[in-house]
Amino acid sequence: KQEVTQIPAALSVPEGENLVLNCSFTDSAIYNLQWFRQDPGKGLTSLLLIQSSQREQTSGRLNASLDKSSGRSTLYIAASQPGDSATYLCANTGRRALTFGSGTRLQVQP
């Protein structure tokens, strides 16, 4: 059974810092890995999708990497802003639909 773990569970940083969120998964037979943002009480906004044949994807200040052999993905956020405060979820598709991690709750202090 696919398990997805995210570390840390919560993170508080001052504005302007670069930061890394971690995601690990147990089944290396994934199709893709998707990072989402969730604001309190809201839906899921897709940030980046990395297909299993890719190693990284970039969108603006966000960069996501994928290392299937070690079962890890990271989301790098450059020059963090207070508007980045949210919960960040990673999810992968193995032999079923998306399996989600429990998320990292990020607070960027102005």
Residues in contact with another protein by the rule CB under 8 A: 31-32, 34, 36, 41-46, 49, 51, 89, 91, 93, 96-103
Q: How far is the CB of 110 from another protein (least distance, A)?
A: 27
Q: How far is the CB of 90 from another protein (least distance, A)?
A: 11
Q: Which is nearer to another protein, 80 or 92 (CB)?
A: 92
Specify the long-range contacts of residues 76-80, CB closer than 8 Å, at least 24 apart: 76/18, 76/19, 76/20, 77/18, 77/19, 77/20, 77/21, 77/106, 78/18, 79/16, 79/17, 79/18, 80/13, 80/15, 80/16, 80/17, 80/18, 80/19, 80/106, 80/108
Q: Which is nearer to another protein, 73 or 93 (CB)?
A: 93
Q: Which is nearer to another protein, 91 or 106 (CB)?
A: 91
